[in-house]
Amino acid sequence: MAILSIDELKKLVANPQPPCVSLYMPTQKAGAEIRQNPIRFKNLIREAEERLDAIGIRHTEAINFLQPAMELDRGDFWEHQDEGLVIFISPHLFHYYCVPIEFPELVVVGKQFHIKPLLHLINNDGNFYVLALSQKDVKFFAGTGHSFNEVQVENMPHRLVETLLEDELQKGVQHRVGTPRGGNGNPAQHPGSVHGQGSPDREKHEEDILQFCYAVDTALHDQLREEKSPLVLAGVEYLFPIYQEANTYPHLLAESINGNPEIINPEQLHDEAWRIVAPSFQEDKRAAIELYEQLVGEGTGKATDDIREIIPAAYYQRVDSLFVAVGEQKWGKFDAETTTVDLHPEPEPDDEDMLDFAAVHTMLNGGRVYTLESEDMPSGAIVAAIFRY
């Protein structure tokens, strides 16, 4: 099973090879209700076969096409579920995800995978990172509100003594201690001033720790080069100002998790980090909605809830921020040559959910997608957008 992330979703939709089949279903995790899982699954497979037949794929070909998904239908698979199951199938791709939210049953067959419900999961979880730092161990985690996994970082040092030994063997490679490198650190602060005046041995030890932090930051710099998600530091309190001096990642948060991460289990790390980062995710969404309402009120033409204007704008990279109702679908087709949008009350063969279409192209073109419940949508619409120009 693949790990769900925004990068994973981008890979799924970047180069589609139709037909693309998307299956969503709620799953039961325990008890007698588990028996409902294979029944629902078989019904969705049958519906997918009918949808494939409607676009001209013969029944035997449809069965072969769906065979990778059908092979999941076994007892041990259904006994290890979360609240929802998502399956994507195309001619050269098969992925499935067990996710911690419940979905309505849905089958979509089209030119593109249907990913809007998963964007809602990721957006409302919020992606963040945790650096668990101690002199004897360094671990790096990627998390959301529902998940927390350790990530192996290339060239990441793990012990202070090993890093210092390597530095001795490779003179000139390490950064000069005390030279500011940017980031969130205070350029005027030096490790010897962190705890006031101390013995030469203590000052030397703090310089060694700073050297260690530089090595950690260098490894993370490559890992987080294109990232904007918040990074939370976990460690004993005296390490915070030293690491801040070495840090070059602009999204390191000021608030940290205080304690020895060697004895803090991952569940505790996740809970503490989520407490720190969760408010900022909601604030971003509120600020975007306020900006949308301001632009609509000013009548600048830079914001609208007209779906026929939003769809071509998303396709041609004009959408900066998109707000879309997660539980709604609007079926239709988009003609890129004429920039016209043809909408239908019920899905027709080769139709796409135009809300999902807008979300996919906004995401691929570097815009931000905010998925909301229908009652929380600005203007009471099913889709709204802020344009770049």
Encoded tokens for 66: 């769906």
Are the C-beta atoms of 133 and 243 separated by less than 8 Å?
yes
Domain 6-114: which CATH class? alpha beta
Fold exhibited by the domain 126-279: Nucleotidyltransferase; domain 5 (3.30.420)
Count how many residues are written for the chain: 389
Q: Domain 301-387 belongs to what topology?
A: 60s Ribosomal Protein L30; Chain: A; (3.30.1330)
Distance between CA 156 and CA 175 in Å, rounded?
16
CA 385/CA 389 separation, integer angstroms: 12
Asked if residues 252 and 101 have their Cβ atoms less than 8 Å apart, the reply is no
| Strand ranges (E), 255-318 | 257-258, 303-304
Stated pTM of the model: 0.68
Percentage with pLDDT > 70 across the chain: 87
Q: Which pLDDT value is given to residue 3? A: 57
Place of tokens 């279409």: 357
User: pLDDT digits over 74-133, tens only?
Assistant: 878 998 888 999 999 999 999 999 988 888 999 999 999 999 999 877 766 678 999 999
Positions of the chain with pLDDT under 50: 168-197
Give the H or E element holding residue 356. Answer: helix 354-364
Closest CA to 190 of 204, 207, 211, 173: 207
Q: For the segment 194-229, what is each residue's pLDDT rounded down to a tens digit?
A: 444 455 666 777 888 899 999 999 999 988 987 888
Please state the domain extents for the chain.
6-114, 126-279, 301-387
pLDDT of residue 2: 54
What tokens were used for 360? 């996919």
Q: What is the pLDDT of residue 174?
A: 43
